[in-house]
Chains A and B, each alone.
Chain A
């Protein structure tokens, strides 16, 4: 793993989760799972984040927030949808206010299924996201070179 992959900072956003998945995300930072050993920091700031971790489906109210968070993150960046709600809308899929999974609003790179997603699965998903992040970083670097 190189540069970015060694220091991924993540931003956790609760779109319209039932909070089950959020608890599991927070469990990842506890001593038992300790994601900081991979250099992962749970930052609250989109400007400093590399990974956007979203739980829950998108509803009419939070759609603009999800878009804004995604746009405020500097390139290269990846999005991880955690829990079946974030992947497809899950049990809330047919609710009048739910648009569906996160990918109805912004591009999603990794889907972590489960209800609630287990901490092990979340960590696996994030590690998978790191590979994609590394690839995006390489592409981003080449793009920048071409621009010059």
Chain B
């Protein structure tokens, strides 16, 4: 019963929460730059507008692929919020991304084709850590089931602080934060227009945005997994921790300039090795 409720809550509330967080992001960013910034509800206005615009379809599959991206992300998130297998959740998360790559390469714009290539490099960069993280949770808690992980007597972060650091690093890629917003960016993206979203207009772009909100909540959910344990007070702690991490990502977004793909790949794998690799090794040795 609890599972059904939490999955339904995720499916219904994640886009709302994601849009609100996005509004917060834009406002906080503006304040960091000494500007007033848009209203908190701006992402909702944007979505509403996108749905009223003319649908310029560059081909007949792009909308379908974007919808698949949305559905797969929603499924991945539902698995997490149902307390199911974390490995399965992460696999479906990467499958979802593949649909986005296909959607971007389906049109003829050289900018979105370039963006699709960069998106794949991004996937290559963060994928090792996500998989290692699942193994890390298994080593730390003895189970791949999210339901078991949140019922541990102590928070996972105590035994896997390295993984948390690594995960914070790749969250910047997943949330498309500078310096890792190579394939498309939330800021004016002048070096290759809008990257993967270049030829997405109106409703197609709106679907992509909603999918990103699902993804954002899913990533924060994974983040919360590090802090949750059997005690009730771990829930407010986890939510507060997620917010702090999110603000840190915004700070980084505003302070760093975009890097080249090579730097992204190298730094990501080094960080993966140093955080996840070492932490995993230690976990294995002490078991």
B188 an interface residue at 8 Å Cβ cutoff? yes
> Per-residue CB proximity of B154-193 to A under 8 Å, as 1/0?
0000000000000000000000000000000000111001
> Per-residue CB proximity of B27-59 to A under 8 Å, as 1/0?
000100111111100100110110011111000
B201 contacts A47, CB within 8 Å?
yes
With the chains together, A9 CA to B36 CA distance in Å? 18
Of B36, B45, B54, the residue contacting A75 (CB under 8 A) is B54
Binding site for A on B (CB under 8 A): 26, 30, 33-39, 42, 45-46, 48-49, 52-56, 188-190, 193-194, 197-202, 205
Of B26, B49, B190, the residue contacting A4 (CB under 8 A) is B49
Interface residues of A in 30-77 (CB under 8 A from B): 31, 34, 36-39, 41-45, 47-48, 50, 72, 74-76
Task: Known A-B contacts: A6-B45, A43-B194, A140-B54. Give 13 more (CB < 8 A).
Answer: A3-B48, A3-B49, A6-B49, A36-B38, A38-B38, A39-B46, A44-B188, A44-B194, A45-B198, A47-B56, A74-B55, A75-B54, A76-B54
A128 an interface residue at 8 Å Cβ cutoff? no
Dominant secondary structure of chain B at its interface with chain A: loop
30 pairs from A and B in contact (CB 8 Å cutoff): A3-B49, A6-B45, A6-B49, A7-B42, A7-B48, A34-B35, A36-B35, A36-B37, A36-B38, A37-B30, A37-B35, A37-B38, A39-B38, A39-B46, A43-B188, A43-B194, A44-B188, A44-B194, A45-B193, A45-B194, A45-B198, A47-B194, A47-B198, A74-B56, A75-B53, A75-B54, A76-B53, A76-B54, A137-B52, A141-B52
In the complex, the chain B residue whose C-beta lies closest to that of A71 is B56
Closest 4 CB pairs of A and B: A74-B54, A6-B45, A47-B201, A75-B54
